[in-house]
Amino acid sequence: MDSIVILFISGLLGLFAGMSKKPVASLFIASFGLIGAGLAAYYRGSYNSPFSSYAAFVPTQGIVIILLCAVTLLALLGGFKRYKNDDEHTGDYFGLILFSLCGAILMAQPGDLMLFFIGLEILSIPIYVLVGIDKGSSTYAEAAVKYFFTGSFASAILLFGIALLYGATGSFQLIEIQSNLAIGIWQSPMAMIGSLFILAGFIFKIGAVPFHFWGPDVYAGASNAVLMYMSTVVKIAGIYGLINVFGQVFRDSYFFWIDLISLLIVISMFYGYITAWKQTNFRRLIAFSSIANAGLMLFALADIHNSNIFLFVGAYALATIALVVINLAVNDDSDALANWEGIAWKNPMIGIALVIALFSLAGIPPFAGFFGKFSLLWSATPHVPYTAILALIASVIGAFVYLRLLILALKRPKVQVRMQLSIEQMIVLLLTSIASIGAIYFI
C-alpha cells in the first residue's frame, strides 16, 4: 500500500510540475516516486529465488512491485526524448503513467475480485488516453479508439465472469471463493463459465491468442514511448494477476482449464512467431513477438504452486524496452523495418544492446531470456510435457524472427553514419544490457 500512495502522490506532483514546462523536473519527480515506491516495497517483502521457493503459494509481493517500478522507470527514461518534445504535456504523460502503474500494482496482487477489477480499470484507462494523447494524428486516434472499444468489451466480459463467480460462491474475497469452490462448487456450470470469462478478460490484457487482435494495430498506432510502457507493464501486471487469481481461486479445477491453457500457449506461440516473420513494420513485429511471449508466460499456470515467472517477464521487459528505445532513437518517424538496416554500426552502444536484447528474446544463454524460459519450462515440463515440446519448436521459429532482425541490423552499410544517443537513452541501454547479462546471478 505504501508504494501505491507514493506513486499516487508523485504522479500528482508530476502533473503540477508539468505546468512549469520543464520536462526534466517532471522526470525527476516521477523517477523519485518510482524509486521510492520500489524501496518501500523492498522493505516490506523479501525476495526468494524462484528455484528455492518450491512451496511458495504466490510470488512474494514486494518483488512484483519492484519489477513493475523498475520497468516503468526504464520506460520513462527511454521515452523521455519523445515526451520532452511535447513540453506542454510532459507532466500529463508522467502523471498518467504513474496512475496507471498504481492500477497495475493493485491488479497484480489482488485479494479481492472487486479491488482487482478496479485495479484493472485504473491500469487501462490512462493507457487509452496515452495512446491517443497526440490529438493531431489520425493513426493515434484510430489506435486509441480501437483499444478503448476492445478493452471495454474485455472488461465487460471479465466483470460478467466476476458476477457469475459471485453468484456461484457468494463472495468477492479470493480466499472465501477458494474455500467455497473447494467443496465442490467449482463443478457447477456457473462457476465454470465464470472462470472461463475471467480467463478471457486476462487473456485480452496480456494479449495472447484468441484475444490478440487489438495488439498489432494498437502497438503500430501508439508512439514508441507509450509502447515501451504498455507492452511491458500491462503484460506483467496481467500475468501476475492471472497467476494469483487462478493459482489461488481455481486450483481445484486445474484439470478443467489446463488443457485449454496448453492449447492457447501453443497457438499463441506459433501464430505470433510465424506472423512476425513477414512483418515490415517494427512495432507490428514487436506486437506479434509479444503475442508469442504472452503465450510463453501462460506456462506459469502449468505449475500453480511454483510459478517461476519473474525472470521471464523481467527478461522480456528488458529486451523489449531496449529494442523500442533503439527504434525510438533511429527510426521514430517512419517505423519501417527497412530503416533498421545497418543501425548497429551507427553507435557501439546500440550494437551491443541490440545483440544482447535479441539473443535474450531468442532465449539463447547466457542472457536473461534463456534463464527466464528455462525457469518457466523447468517447472512446467513435468505437468505439460507435450506443450513444452511444441513450445520449443515454436521457439526455433521465434529465434529466426529475432536473428533476421539481427542480421538486418548488423549489415555493414556502405557509408558509415555515426549518431549520438542522448544521455538517458545511453543509461537505459546500458542498464538493460547489464541486467540481461547479470541475470545469471539470480538463478
Partner 1 sequence: MALILLPLVLSLVAWLLPSAQTRLFGLIASALSLAWSIVAVCYFKPTDHLLVDFGLRFIRFSIDSLGFTMILLTNAVFFLVFLSQFTSNITQEKRFTALALLMQFGLVGVFTTNTILGFYIFWELTLLPIFLILYWFGSFEKPRALLQFFLYTILGSLAMLLAVIGLMHATNQQTYEGLLVADLNALGNTSTLLMGGFLFAFAVKIPLFPFHTWQAETYTKAPTAGTMLLSAIMLKMALFGLLKWVLPIFDGVATDFWRWPIISLGLIGVVYGAIIAIRQRDIKTLFAYASLSHLGLIAAALMLNDFDTNQIAVVQIVNHSIVSIGLFLAAGIIELRLQTRNIEELGGIAKVAPRFAFWFAVLTFVSLSVPFTAGFIGEFFLIKALFSAHALTGFIASTTLVLGAVYMLRAYQAPMFGPTKIAAFADLHWSELIVFAILSVAAIYLGLAPQCLTDFVAQSLTQPTH
Residues that bind partner 1 (CB under 8 A): 49, 51, 355, 359, 362, 364-366, 370, 374, 377-378, 381-382, 388-389, 392-393, 395-396, 399-400, 403-404, 407, 410, 412, 440-441, 443
Provide CB contacts within 8 A for 259, sequence distance 6+.
Answer: none
Question: Cβ 406 to partner 1, closest distance in Å?
Answer: 8
Least distance CB 273 / partner 1 (angstroms): 13
Nearer to partner 1, 12 or 399 (CB): 399
Residue 126 grid cell: 490512462
* R_g of the chain computed on alpha carbons: 21
As a whole number of angstroms, the distance between CA 271 and CA 277 comes to 10
Residue number with CB closer to partner 1 (169 or 387): 387
Q: Please say which residue, 19 or 407, places its beta carbon nearer to partner 1.
A: 407
Nearer to partner 1, 35 or 364 (CB): 364
User: Which cell goes with 43?
Assistant: 522493505
- Counting runs of H as helices and runs of E as strands, what totals does the chain give? 18, 0
As a whole number of angstroms, the distance between CA 304 and CA 91 comes to: 40
With CA atoms as reference, report the closest residue to 234 among 78, 145, 108. 108
137 DSSP assignment: -
**C-beta closer to partner 1: residue 235 or 373:** 373
User: Cα 189 to the chain's mean position, in Å?
Assistant: 32
Cβ atoms of residues 398 and 292 within 8 Å:
yes
Residue type, 16: F
Q: Which is nearer to partner 1, 336 or 440 (CB)?
A: 440
Q: Quote the least distance from Cβ 209 to partner 1, whole Å.
A: 21
Which residues are registered as beta bridge partners of 281?
336
Which set of grid coordinates corresponds to residue 6?
507514493
* Minimum CB distance to partner 1, residue 403 (Å): 6
- The CA distance from 443 to 308, in Å, is 11
Instruction: Tell me the C-alpha distance between 269 and 154, whole Å.
Output: 21
**What is the closest distance, in whole angstroms, from the C-beta atom of residue 354 to partner 1 in the complex?**
12
Q: Quick one: 170 or 385, whose CB is closer to partner 1?
A: 385
The partner residues of 112 in beta bridges, in order of sequence, read: 173
Q: Which is nearer to partner 1, 298 or 391 (CB)?
A: 391
Cell of 288: 506479434
Nearest-approach distance from CB 111 to partner 1, in angstroms: 32
